[in-house]
Amino acid sequence: MHFTNFAVFSAIVFSTVLACPDHSNHELLGPLYKRQTVNGTFRVAPTKKDWAYEASYNWGMVNENYTLCQVGTQQAPIPLLLTQGLSLNHIPHFQYPATAAGNFYNWGYGPAFTFSHPPGNWTGLPSLTFEEAPGVNETVYLRGWHLHAPADHSVQGDRSKAELHLVHVDAKGHERAVLAFRVDPGNAESAFFGQLPGVIGFNETDVQEPIELDPSLALNEVNSFNEFWTYRGSLTSPPCTEGLRWYVARNILFTSVAQMQSLLRASTYSARAEQEVWLHQINV
């Protein structure tokens, strides 16, 4: 076995971090602002998996349940271009509260947060409404967010240091829409990331901290998400389920250099290879 093949093989077989988090750790575990180890039904510790981001080209070969990763017509992420224009359709209207409670943790690849809600009831979460088709409005609910490093999406061939995903589900809890914010270092601190406690490392996946935060701060830092690309896409990890509406902000969410270093220190590589544009209906 060649060394390069062995590296890929070992990454797949011995990898123990999670796929994109399902944000199922939705119940608060005691007093706010007290960091604690997770156990029992709320455990977010890593589990074995059979794929790796470093080898995303072969997910369809690894497991028959991942066939869609290979043959899907709307796989995410995709490269974006300024020549594609920006969307005038599917404009999101946000109903985000000033504060919302949940659990801050690390999903094995970087910082993450799950909003607290009663089991099986997502409709009380922060929400957004968009027009999926003419005259057909749809409301989805913000289940949580997590960070990828580097960014999943490139724009004009440029890939940001990181990408923030705000995952929204339908009333039954199925992933339905994702807001994507490209994240890069700038000249001032990010208020969104500034509200977080000290980051939890990628090797501390059995730890989470109940906190309250303001999700609308992320919107404020990209001009209220007023310019964006949108397309029909999928989950960016196996099983690569399609049927999601993706929104990618044109504006970058900037952090300070120190904030970016802290985020990257808590992260590991988690970007899927970009997919060829097919039936994604960009901005349509």
For the chain, 284 residues long, give each residue's pLDDT as a single digit of tens. Answer: 433 343 333 333 333 445 688 787 876 655 444 566 554 334 444 456 899 999 999 999 999 999 999 999 999 999 999 999 999 999 999 999 999 999 999 999 999 999 999 999 999 999 999 999 999 999 999 999 999 999 999 999 999 999 999 999 999 999 999 999 999 999 999 999 999 999 999 999 999 999 999 999 999 999 999 999 999 999 999 999 999 999 999 999 999 999 999 999 999 999 999 999 999 999 99
CATH T-level fold of 36-266: Carbonic Anhydrase II (3.10.200)
CB 18 within 8 A of CB 48: no
Domain coordinates of the chain in residue numbers?
36-266
Question: How much is the pLDDT for 150?
Answer: 98
Question: How much is the pLDDT for 30?
Answer: 52
Global pTM exceeds 0.85:
yes
Nearest to 216 by CA among 118, 128, 146, 130: 128
CA–CA gap between residue 38 and residue 155 (Å, rounded): 38
- Using alpha carbons only, what angle is made at residue 278 by residues 18 and 235, rounded to the nearest 5 degrees? 15
DSSP code per residue over the chain: --HHHHHHHHHHHH--S-SS------S--SSTT--EE--GGG-------S--GGGGGGHHHH-GGGHHHHH-SS-S---B-GGG----SS--EEE--S-EEEEEEE-SSSEEEEE---TT--TTS-EEEEEEETTEEEEEEEEEEEEESS-S-EETTEE-SEEEEEEEE-TTS-EEEEEEEEEEE-SS--HHHHTS-SPPPTT-TTEEEEEEE-THHHHHTTGGG-SEEEEEEE-SSTT--EEEEEEEESS-EEE-HHHHHHHHHT-----PPPPPPSS--TT-
